[in-house]
Amino acid sequence: MTKIFDELNIDLSMLGTEPADEYHAKAKQYLSSHQLIDFMTCPWLYRKKQLALIQAKETEAYLLGRAAHCRILEGRDAYESQFAIGGPINPKTKKPFGKESQAFQNWVQAQGKPGIHFDDIDKIENLASGVSMNSEAVDLLLYGRAEGVVRVNRWDVDCQIRIDWLHPHRGIVDLKTCKDLSAFQWDARKYRYINQLAFYQSVLCEQIGELVPVYIVAVEKKEPYRCGVWRVSEDSLDDAANENEAAIERLKTCQKTDHWPTGYESIRTLTAA
């Protein structure tokens, strides 16, 4: 087990600052946690995304998640400057046009930034309120830096991370939205959140020279908008870091051979249990 340092004094000025679009545009040059998880899921999926044979589309859920992150971590001013909030009003009904309407789509395009419809404004505010009701979450997010970027060479690979929140004395804090807080620990395994955060921890360690604690703040996307806080165990982070390193070695082999398997090339045995 690798020692995680709890007595921290991280210099937040070493974090880079850039818009999300600029960060994601550098994905071809730098390995990110999401790319690595794609590879762990299916090397051929990773390769098709890398070659732009699969185009990532911003779903409504992803857009709301981005907006909620901005509102909760960066504050109302940043939220209102980065997103167009509201929409056009139908002059006949005196009610907003629907979010699927052409009128709303035209309005968003005219604003020049992502649009949050009237229907979703309250949901985002409720998410922010849910987080504010959890004193542990408030304490973790009281001091620190949102969306800080780090780029280093780790495992002989150029890597990048964009940390939701870095607390100078407590470490990495990742914000997640979920359907049901009671099932969050199963979601964490399903979506490999610990692999993602172990990647963050390893890359940040390369920059500052020490492993820091990792926390997850999760908030429900429905009533009653419960919020919970988890500290990821050192053993779990260690195991995930080892999985990440092994996957990166497999990635290097795929790059050398230009062979990208699906992971399902051989016959498997299906059992009832």
The CATH number that applies at residue 244 is: 3.90.320.10
Residue-number span of the structural domain to which 160 is assigned: 12-257
214-220 vs 171-178, strand pairing mode: parallel
Per-residue pLDDT tens listing for the chain (273 residues): 566 777 899 999 999 999 888 999 998 899 999 999 999 999 999 999 999 999 877 788 889 999 999 999 999 999 999 999 999 999 999 999 999 999 999 999 999 999 999 999 999 999 999 999 999 999 999 999 999 999 999 999 999 999 999 999 999 999 999 999 999 999 999 999 999 999 999 999 999 999 999 999 999 999 999 999 999 999 999 999 999 999 999 999 999 999 999 999 999 999 987
115-117 vs 157-167, strand pairing mode: unpaired
For CA atoms 55, 57, 62, 67, the dihedral sign is positive
Is the peptide bond between 19 and the residue preceding it cis, with omega within 30 degrees of 0?
no
Separation between Cα atoms, residue 148 and residue 212, nearest integer Å:
15
What is the total count of domains within the chain?
1
DSSP 68-105: HHIIIII-HHHHHHHSEEE-PBPTTTSSBPPTTSHHHH
Separation between Cα atoms, residue 204 and residue 217, nearest integer Å:
19
Count of Cβ atoms closer than 10 Å to residue 39 Cβ: 22
Given this model, what pLDDT does residue 62 score?
87
Q: Does 6 map to a domain?
A: no
For CA atoms 11, 33, 29, 4, the dihedral sign is positive
Separation between Cα atoms, residue 117 and residue 189, nearest integer Å:
32
Q: Does 7 map to a domain?
A: no
Pairs from 180-188 (Cβ < 8 Å, separation ≥ 24): 180/220, 181/218, 181/219, 181/220, 181/226, 181/227, 181/228, 184/218, 184/228, 184/230, 185/230, 188/216, 188/230
In a 13 Å sphere around the CA of 160, the CA atoms on its Cβ side amount to: 19
Q: Does 267 map to a domain?
A: no
Q: Does 44 map to a domain?
A: yes
Q: Does 38 map to a domain?
A: yes
What letters, b where the CB count within 10 A reaches 16 and e where it falls short, cover 108-144? beeeeeebbbbebeebbebbbebbeebeebeebbeeb
- Global confidence as pTM: 0.93
